[in-house]
Chains A and B, each alone.
Chain A
Amino acid sequence: MNRAVFMVARREFRGLVWSRRVLVCSVAVAVLLVAFVFLQAFVFGHQRPVRVGLAGQAIALADGLPQETASLGVTVAVSQVDDVADGVAAVRAGRLDVLVSGARAALHVTVDNQLDPQLRTTLNGLVRQQVLDAQIAQLGVRPQDVLSRVDQAQISLTRLNATDPNRHQRIAIGVVAGLLVALALAMSAGLVAAQAAAAARNGTTEVLLTVLPPRRLLLGNLGGLGVTGLAHLAAIGVLGTVVALATGVVSVPGAVLTALGSGLLWYVLGFALLGVPATRSVGPRPLFGGLAVVFVLSTVLLVTDPAGPAAAVLSVLPPFAPILLPGRLAVGVATGWQVVLAVVLAVGLAALTPGRYPGRGGRA
């Protein structure tokens, strides 16, 4: 009998995993995901380096300037200019953003219109440093010794609320993971409903019921459909992970992998929750609506207060757990007991959900 269940599941999987309708959905989601990552990498998240031309004695800044500005979050591309006039012409023509000339203690900066405030701070700091070095040298002391001591003098810091510098990245990863799980569940619920209707129409359910009891037939059907959805979600998730890491859009690979793993786990649990109701004659539309509401609420909670009590409570409840909990895990605010409780509740509810088993209907 178990062999028959496996065979039903295998047939469903083989019939659907390469089917046009499933591939179209998955390819569309994958394309959107990759496009989003590329846009993030090369359009939204990409800042063009400030083109800085160095002329005369200012050429000595070529090594130090990029490091100084980088610490303030500004990327510069340094080039040497033969003379000031050429540099000014380049700024005027838009080939350079900034021309720096003059001695280190009296730098002169030429821009077309505005100077980046961070770059201004950096250049002012270099000028002041140069002046300070000269003043210290006049006192007969080695400037390096003084500066070394100055550098060692730092405040001691106590963070009452530690802020993760990658918090926004983690939230974005969580939202994307929740969206992918929601889309996969919606697609799978639609497939379940469509397959149930088709099986009733072409009489295959009746034939299978002569070799399998209704519950086992449903297990075989849902098993095959669930694995189909899982395979597609895994493919999309892995693709998104590889592209995101390769393009450098995310700098927290651990969060991505956590979101991927927990997303796949929660797809399985979510499918266990939704699969049986999706076989009901009412069709998948109410489920689609419910998934959309759950996704929107989960996203709002994840963005505004992922560690708050509302998110914590909802993320362990079955309707929200498959979508909200992977996000909270990616952000790093879900605790172990919350995960365990959510899994127990999901499995328990799935086991208790009454199914519309095939073969109970029919007409004379």
Chain B
Amino acid sequence: MTDAVLEIDRISKRYGAVVALSGVGLVAGPGEVFGLAGRTGAGKTTLLRICAGVLAADDGRVRWRGVPIDPAARRRIGYLPAAGGLHPDMTVVGQLVYRGELHGLDTNESHRRAQAWLDRLGLRTLRDRGIGTLDTDERRLVCLLATLLPEPELLLLDEPCAGMTPTGIDTVFSVLREQVDRDVPVLFASNDFDLVERQCDRVGILRSGQTVAVGALPELTADRPRLVAVDAPDATVGWFSSLPGCRMVDVDGSRVVLELGPESDDQAVLSAAMATGRVREFTLLRRSLAELYDVEAG
């Protein structure tokens, strides 16, 4: 499954006058959880729908294993829509078996897999419960199981953890990591930047239908301005102004947060601070994905 690569090539999509996607390009490969991050309306759902074959793109191509996705390939994709895709009038086991059968499994095999998944996640007691009676964690986990039951070769997950507790989210990602270990690429869309940052191997950030950043988190943050927090209570106002490439972005009493440009040296900042007297804090701050995105979003 070494060629199990999803290539999203310059996809564009309009809804009337609204541009939902404009030339979006990404590549998600085996052995990774690819996080698709963006605010509501950024185009994440549209992009996943196009990848799943639910929507047609106006322009561009989606290739799976090097060829455009056809109906046969589509049946090997596990797509979990943001709304969940469960029939509220069915039981948990009925829903799982139904999804297995839709993907061509016979009834017995669908039952066997459904039971195995429920046992494995400790959800056996939900077996005969109605979908409408489940809480958010339970419902989201059943959504995921329904997606995984046919053993898809590619996972497209749209906000799979929305509204879940941390425990539920951990369960979701433990399952997804197993899929990644099987070389199943996982494309994971969320507007929770912290979650994407914590759980995904690589990230693509969408804003207003355009890709604004793609890559592993360290790569994305490497050439970005660094932040440093300095608390020098004896220093005069603007003590850092003579340092090249250094700009204040926040101040709280004697504590300032400085943005350091590429030409700045954090050790020079520390030396300048110490030259003013006492230094109570000197901390290099890590830029979160949300901060990075906000910078990019401008």
Give chain A's interface residues, CB within 8 Å of chain B: 3-4, 7-8, 11, 15, 19, 201-204, 206-211, 213, 359-360, 362-364
Contact = CB atoms under 8 A, between A and B. Distances in A.
Contact of B75 (A203, A206, A211): A211
B85 A204 contact: yes
B98 A206 contact: no
Interface centre among A3, A210, A211, A360 (most CB of B within 10 A): A210
B90 to A, nearest CB: 7
Contacts of A15: 87, 89-90
Nearest to B84: A203
Contacts of A204: 85-87
Given A15-B89, A210-B77, A211-B74, A202 B84 contact: yes
A206 B49 contact: yes
Task: List the 3 closest A-B pairs by CB distance, nearest first.
Answer: A203-B83, A207-B85, A203-B81
Contacts of A3: 104
Contacts of A206: 49, 52, 54, 79, 81, 83, 85
Interface of B: 15, 20-21, 41-46, 49, 52-55, 71, 74-75, 77, 79-90, 98-99, 101-104, 146, 209
Interface centre among A4, A7, A202, A211 (most CB of B within 10 A): A211
B77 to A, nearest CB: 6
B102 to A, nearest CB: 5
Given A4-B102, A203-B81, A203-B82, 14 more contacts: A8-B102, A11-B98, A15-B90, A19-B89, A202-B86, A203-B86, A206-B52, A207-B85, A210-B74, A211-B75, A362-B55, A363-B45, A364-B46, A364-B209
Nearest to B77: A210
B54 A359 contact: yes
A103 to B, nearest CB: 80
B86 A364 contact: no
A211 B101 CA distance: 11
A204 B75 CA distance: 15
B14 to A, nearest CB: 11
A339 B126 CA distance: 53
Given A202-B86, A210-B74, A362 B53 contact: no
B87 A11 contact: yes
B96 to A, nearest CB: 13
A7 B102 contact: yes
Contacts of A7: 98, 101-102
Nearest to B49: A362
Contacts of B21: 364
A364 B41 contact: yes
A176 B101 CA distance: 42
A12 B45 CA distance: 27
B89 A363 contact: no
16 contacts: A3-B104, A7-B101, A7-B102, A202-B85, A202-B87, A203-B83, A203-B84, A206-B79, A206-B83, A210-B74, A210-B75, A211-B74, A211-B102, A363-B46, A364-B43, A364-B44
A364 B79 CA distance: 16
B15 A213 contact: no
B53 A210 contact: yes
